[in-house]
Amino acid sequence: MIQRFDRNDRRILTFPAVHPCEGISPATLLNSLIILSRDICNFKSNFFATQRRNVREMIRQVGILLIFFEEILDHLPSDRDSIVLCFAELHTTFQKINFLLDDCTREGAKTWMLMKSHSVASQFQVLVRTVATALDVLPLNSLNVSREIKELVVMVANQAQRAKMELDPEDEEAVKRVILLLNQFENKFQPDPCVIKKFLDYLDITTWAECHKEIKFLEDAINIECSENYEREVPMLSSLVGFLSYCRGIVFEDSVYGNTDQSDGSSNLETLSCLDPEDFRCPISLELMTDPVTVSTGQTYDRASIQKWLKSGNLLCPKTGETLQSTELVPNSSLRNLIQQFCADNGISIAKSRKKNHDISRTILPGNPAAAEAIKFLSEFLACRLYFGSDQQKTKAAYEIRLLAKSNIFNRSVLIEAATIPALLQMLCTNDTSMQEHSISALLKLSKHSNGKKVIMENRGLNSILGVLKNGLKLESKQIAAAVIFYISSPREYRKLISENPEVFPALVDLINYGTSCGKKNAIVAMFGLLLSYRNHERALGAGTVPALVNLLTSSDKVELNTDALAVLATLAERTEGSFAILEASALRVILDQLQNTTSRAGREYCVSILLSLCVNSGAEVIASLVREKALMPLLYSLLTEGTSQAKKRTRSLIKTLQRYCETSTSRLVSEVPQEQFIDVR
């Protein structure tokens, strides 16, 4: 009878009550009503930050009716139609009351429920009047209950009819106080801390963790609003996020802080991928690039976006601000293939990716002027703490920065403008594990911003980050440092500077050999990014990348990790030196095993790419070994029916190479192929 909803699955202040079906028996309906009434009465023990008077009155009335329901449970009424009509209406209403009380006590929703208090009071008014209407049709005189019980029901009906569920004066005063605080932020005036403290105390938000939960709830609400294209509430929600972020960072500076759940701002759980849509966004439109082209400054944009930019008379590079020496657009086929590979392997469409990128792009601008100023005040405060605070204050400030910059482009830009990056770089050279981890995590978030990359490199940050990669106090810090290197190496000019440091590739290889699975993955992806420049292939090979990746493939059962390793090997195999290194590492058997056993379509396609490069660069010996592999040709034919057009093209090329060898070679030539460094397939 009662439909159960997880409070996290139901949007707040929505009441999806189920009306009882026609013909339901009075006994079933009554039992369900009793359960609902008990659930409502159990809210007595909960803390209500707002609507206290309305809640108290509603629970009191339902409690009296519960006594009535339990009284008639053993002798059902004879007037079945009237009683079912009344109980059905009460059942629907009680469901809505239960939802409303649940929302009033929902974790992290205190601030939002306060700001919606006028609407919530109206809901209480509607529901209590609905109870009165339902009781009007109750055939009370025909019921076999005591006079006292009947009098109680009549009293509830009369009180419900006359009740005025109005906004508590204290709630109304608190709402006015919040609006005043937001107006002060909007006018670039820092509010009185005493006023802020009074508001927080009223809602019983007394710790960093409670404030953080409020922010998390509001951010989730913004995401829901935007996903449903219903953004009327977004400005107010954004202003509250900015205000409470200010409170979390400043008012609760001395409070115990830390993650309240594993998904929240935890950079040590963040892994990269060789195929990451975040790295495929056009800097202009912030949407997935379908036709990436490179301009004279070396920056890459989606063709449609940069052409629109140029046609409007702009002759500056949108990302760097440099004057374009020419308007020639050079297709970036390698990047286009990666984007197509990502979409094919993950079964997503360009349209879906564009929607995701639109969700990210909406954070370029602040959701509200009050939120913008609150974040600016907070950023200046955190920067001051980074430079002049105690070690504990510095660590706390770094942690706040990693949370603020997690998924908000505007916050990143403000934090960068506040000069937080130079201080964070200095904090990497520490013996404090928490300070180092939070600092490198904050730098990871800021490095995703184009200005962040620039500031890191201009402040000689590579050496500090590389120091963490090599000698980080925790493995988590090392893997985050690898991710930072990946992001700051995305601009071509920085990629060149990074790769010229002789310690970069050995440090990444060391993490591949000895890091956690997450660390291995980040190191591989950082390596992959650096290999976009061909001159880095020799450096990667010299550092022992190929043996490290081959060892990983033979020992790892993680599909995503192995796929990324194959992606790097496929890139290295494109050059003759890389192909020879793969053969010297006795990797041919490993690649064939991966081709046969991996469940990743991208992994299989990387294997084909490696095999094709080996055939082209290493000659007849490799081809002969592959021809002897009886299971290979059926696998290749099956790949022709799936994958990207580029992958199908490579598969056809490999099949033709093997067929051509079979047609032109004699059996004697095949039997004389040296077997020392190639697979034995007989």
CATH code where residue 300 lies: 3.30.40.10
Q: Among the listed ranges 122-136, 239-253, 521-535, which one has the minimum average pLDDT value?
A: 521-535
Report how far residue 532's alpha carbon sits from residue 337's, in angstroms, rounded to the nearest whole number: 13
**611 and 661 share one domain:** yes
Asked if residue 564 is part of any domain, the answer here is yes
* DSSP-assigned states of every residue in 340-392: HHHHHHHT--HHHHHHHHHHHHTTSS-SSHHHHHHHHHHHHHHHHHHHHS-HH
* Residues paired with 385 in a beta bridge: none
Residue 109's pLDDT is 96
Query: Does residue 608 surpass a pLDDT of 80?
Result: yes
**143 and 35 share one domain:** yes
Residues 6+ apart with CB under 8 A from 66: 34, 37, 38, 41
Tens-digit pLDDT profile for residues 325-373: 888 888 877 677 677 655 654 444 444 444 444 455 567 778 889 999 9
Report how far residue 678's alpha carbon sits from residue 626's, in angstroms, rounded to the nearest whole number: 9
Tens-digit pLDDT profile for residues 274-321: 555 556 778 777 677 888 888 888 788 888 888 888 887 788 888 777
Asked if residue 5 is part of any domain, the answer here is no
Choose among 413, 493, 425, 424: nearest CA to 462.
425
CB count, 10 Å around CB of 154?
13
Residues 6+ apart with CB under 8 A from 241: 215, 218, 219, 222, 367, 371
Domain boundary, last residue among 383, 399, 434: 434
258 with 434: CB under 8 angstroms?
A: no
> How far from the centroid of its chain's Cα atoms is residue 491's Cα?
24
**603 and 592 share one domain:** yes
Q: Which domain holds residue 623?
A: 554-668
**Residue that wins the pLDDT comparison between 638 and 183:** 183
Report how far residue 125's alpha carbon sits from residue 128's, in angstroms, rounded to the nearest whole number: 5
CA distances from 489 to 119, 560, 572 (A): 51, 22, 18
93 with 131: CB under 8 angstroms?
A: yes
Percent pLDDT > 90 in the chain is: 54
Choose among 113, 231, 244, 120: nearest CA to 181.
244
- What tokens does 349 get? 């469409």
SS3 category, 300: strand
Asked if residue 333 is part of any domain, the answer here is yes
Asked if residue 6 is part of any domain, the answer here is no
CA atoms within 13 A of residue 120's CA, in its CB half-sphere = 31
Secondary structure string (H, E, C) spanning 616-667? HHHCHHHHHHHHCCCCHHHHHHHHCCCCCHHHHHHHHHHHHHHHHHHHHCCH
CA dihedral for 244, 246, 248, 251, sign (positive or negative):
negative
Query: Does residue 540 surpass a pLDDT of 90?
Result: yes
Q: Among the listed ranges 51-60, 428-437, 640-649, which one has the minimum average pLDDT value?
A: 640-649
* Residues paired with 57 in a beta bridge: none
Tens-digit pLDDT profile for residues 362-401: 677 788 899 999 999 999 999 999 999 999 999 999 999 9
**583 and 647 share one domain:** yes
Domain boundary, last residue among 384, 413, 434: 434
**573 and 663 share one domain:** yes
- The mean pLDDT of the chain is 86
Query: Does residue 482 surpass a pLDDT of 80?
Result: yes
Q: How confident is the model at residue 548 (pLDDT cuts 50, 70, 90)?
A: very high
Q: How confident is the model at residue 533 (pLDDT cuts 50, 70, 90)?
A: confident
Query: Does residue 101 surpass a pLDDT of 60?
Result: yes
Choose among 90, 74, 88: nearest CA to 143.
74
Place of tokens 């770094």: 398
**216 and 288 share one domain:** no
Asked if residue 523 is part of any domain, the answer here is no
Q: How confident is the model at residue 496 (pLDDT cuts 50, 70, 90)?
A: confident
Residue 352's pLDDT is 46
Specify the CATH number for the domain of residue 643.
Answer: 1.25.10.10
Report how far residue 56's alpha carbon sits from residue 551's, in angstroms, rounded to the nearest whole number: 66
Domain boundary, last residue among 149, 167, 185: 167
Residues 6+ apart with CB under 8 A from 253: 385, 393, 396
* Residues paired with 316 in a beta bridge: 323
Q: Among the listed ranges 74-83, 375-384, 442-451, which one has the minimum average pLDDT value?
A: 74-83
On the 0-12 / 13-18 / 19+ scale of CB atoms within 10 A, 301 is buried
Report how far residue 327's alpha carbon sits from residue 325's, in angstroms, rounded to the nearest whole number: 7
**37 and 82 share one domain:** yes
Choose among 419, 398, 492, 487: nearest CA to 450.
487
Query: Does residue 682 surpass a pLDDT of 50?
Result: no
Asked if residue 536 is part of any domain, the answer here is no
DSSP summary character for residue 166: P
**76 and 114 share one domain:** yes
37 with 94: CB under 8 angstroms?
A: yes
- What tokens does 159 get? 């009180």
CA distances from 397 to 91, 217, 475 (A): 51, 22, 22
**564 and 646 share one domain:** yes
| Domain count along the chain | 4
Query: Does residue 8 surpass a pLDDT of 70?
Result: no
Asked if residue 244 is part of any domain, the answer here is yes
pTM above 0.85, yes or no: no
**48 and 97 share one domain:** yes
Residue 42's pLDDT is 96
**39 and 142 share one domain:** yes
Report how far residue 607's alpha carbon sits from residue 593's, in angstroms, rounded to the nearest whole number: 9
Q: Which H or E element spans position 331?
A: strand 330-331
**159 and 178 share one domain:** no
Helix 601-618 to helix 588-597 angle, to the nearest 10 degrees? 150
Asked if residue 231 is part of any domain, the answer here is yes
SS3 category, 549: helix
